[in-house]
């Protein structure tokens, strides 16, 4: 079949007023009251690092080097990466980074009844989301590939990982969240107290702005991705969104097919959620949960948060309603034409 249209939205959340007139771009060490920014392209996305530090260039150089290191370890398509070797050999000695991410993926997979499943990679590839050769697989092919899906097919013992026959993994749902955590840790190690990073729309903040005020982060409107839907104020938090508008194609049937698949049937998840934003202290967990929540649907998200209230959420349903957790009551501003309400989800 032919594909009529491909839409790719890289930024699901943006930092408001990212560069002010006082910001300097790679111009050397500045006082801690002035921002130094660095643009990086890695993990197939554009990233921006913004730091307030007397030694900003050293901090940014180390952070950029760490990003490239993680890209080499975690890429699903780059030969000799941990993931590539594991997928092709079914066993591998992996780095501490890869082991931590896989362990978190399995934990979240278990806690969400399989809504997050990193063994979906063969199906994601079949739909063309990793190759660019987009197509709608027939049901028989999907069912065949689903036989090899299941996070329980992963065995991890320290830094030794194994996959069952025909199983393959992809860490794309967690890699940028983990990378954000690592970048923030590097900044902390250099004594930085104020910074913010955007990794392809995954926003993570270190502390507050130098003047003590909160960072303002905008979340995209899934029905009009060129516009912002809401603004949330954060300090020392990650804001990570998964949405049906991020990466999708339009088939000959006129329907949009997005890249977040439901592990239960192998088709794009369609359980009522069109955008799921998770806000919390840990980027890796927020990244994993944003994907899981997109798959789960509103009722199951409520059940999960009732038992695990550590993170806040902003959810948009396919009937154009916004729901957000009470922890954001004084930090959330709706700038869309959709109704927004605090709901009993925590």
pTM above 0.85, yes or no: yes
Mean pLDDT of 224-244: 96
Alpha carbon 219 to chain centroid distance?
13
- Examine residue 176 and state whether it is found in any structural domain, yes or no: no
Q: What are the start-end ranges of the E strands in 144-270? A: 154-157, 160-163, 194-199, 202-206, 215-221, 224-234, 238-243, 247-250, 256-258
Q: Which of 230, 311, 322 is nearest to 278 (CA)?
A: 311
Burial of 32 (0-12, 13-18, 19+ CB in 10 A): middle
- Examine residue 260 and state whether it is found in any structural domain, yes or no: yes
Mean per-residue pLDDT of the chain: 90
- Examine residue 231 and state whether it is found in any structural domain, yes or no: yes
Mean pLDDT of 145-149: 96
- Examine residue 294 and state whether it is found in any structural domain, yes or no: yes
Predicted local confidence at residue 32, as pLDDT: 66
For 261, half-sphere exposure in the C-beta direction (CA atoms, 13 angstrom radius) is: 26
Q: How far apart are CA 61 and CA 42, in angstroms?
A: 14
What tokens appear for 12 in the block? Answer: 């699901």
pLDDT tens string 263-297 = 999 999 999 999 999 999 999 999 999 999 999 99
Asked if residue 9 has pLDDT above 90, the reply is: no
- Examine residue 145 and state whether it is found in any structural domain, yes or no: no
Q: Which of 188, 226, 182 is nearest to 202 (CA)?
A: 182
CATH number at residue 216: 3.10.520.10
- Examine residue 162 and state whether it is found in any structural domain, yes or no: no
Mean pLDDT of 305-327: 96
Alpha carbon 235 to chain centroid distance?
19
CB distance 76 to 59 below 8 Å? no
CB distance 49 to 38 below 8 Å? yes
- Examine residue 277 and state whether it is found in any structural domain, yes or no: yes
Give the least confident one: 46-60, 224-238, 240-254: 240-254
Asked if residue 29 has pLDDT above 50, the reply is: no
Overall number of domains in the chain: 1
Q: Which of 41, 64, 37 is nearest to 51 (CA)?
A: 37
Predicted local confidence at residue 344, as pLDDT: 63
Other beta carbons within 10 angstroms of residue 131's beta carbon come to 12
Number of H helices, E strands in the chain: 8, 20
Q: How far is CA 294 from CA 140, 205, 273, in A?
A: 25, 23, 6
Domain that holds residue 331: 5-56+196-342
Q: How far apart are CA 234 and CA 54, in angstroms?
A: 24
- Examine residue 122 and state whether it is found in any structural domain, yes or no: no
Asked if residue 111 has pLDDT above 90, the reply is: yes
3 state SS of 211? coil
Asked if residue 37 has pLDDT above 70, the reply is: yes
End-to-end CA distance of the chain: 44
What tokens appear for 85 in the block? Answer: 């070797």
């Amino acid at each position: 079949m032919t594909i009529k249209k491909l839409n790719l939205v890289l930024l699901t959340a943006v930092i408001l007023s990212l560069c002010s007139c006082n910001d300097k771009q790679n111009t050397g060490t500045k006082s801690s009251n002035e921002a130094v920014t660095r643009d990086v392209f890695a993990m197939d996305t554009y990233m921006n690092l913004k730091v307030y530090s007397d030694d900003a260039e050293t901090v940014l150089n180390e952070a950029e080097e760490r990003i490239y290191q993680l890209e080499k370890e975690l890429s699903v398509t780059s030969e000799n990466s941990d993931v590539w070797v594991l997928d092709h050999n079914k066993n591998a000695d992996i780095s501490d980074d890869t082991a931590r991410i896989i362990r978190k993926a399995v934990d979240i997979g278990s806690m969400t009844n399989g809504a997050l499943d990193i063994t979906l990679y063969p199906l994601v590839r079949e739909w063309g989301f990793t190759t660019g050769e987009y197509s709608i697989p027939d049901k028989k092919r999907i069912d065949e590939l689903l036989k090899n899906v299941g996070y329980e097919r992963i065995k991890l013992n320290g830094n030794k990982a194994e996959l069952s026959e025909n199983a393959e993994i992809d860490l794309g749902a967690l890699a940028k969240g983990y990378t954000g955590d690592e970048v923030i840790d590097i900044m902390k190690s250099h004594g930085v107290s104020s910074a913010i990073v955007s990794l392809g729309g995954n926003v993570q903040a270190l502390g507050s702005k130098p003047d003590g005020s909160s960072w303002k982060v905008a979340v995209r409107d899934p029905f009009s991705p060129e516009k912002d839907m809401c603004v949330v104020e954060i300090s020392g938090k990650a804001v990570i969104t998964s949405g049906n508008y991020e990466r999708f194609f339009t088939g000959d049937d006129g329907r949009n097919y997005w890249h977040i698949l439901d592990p239960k049937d192998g088709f794009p998840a369609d359980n009522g959620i069109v955008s799921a934003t998770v806000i919390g202290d840990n980027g890796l967990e927020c990244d994993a949960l944003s994907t899981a929540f997109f798959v789960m649907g509103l009722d199951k998200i409520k059940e999960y948060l009732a038992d695990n209230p550590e993170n806040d959420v902003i959810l948009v349903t396919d009937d154009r309603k916004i729901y957000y957790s009470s922890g954001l009551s004084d930090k959330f501003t709706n700038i869309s034409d959709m109704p927004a309400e605090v709901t009993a989800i925590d």
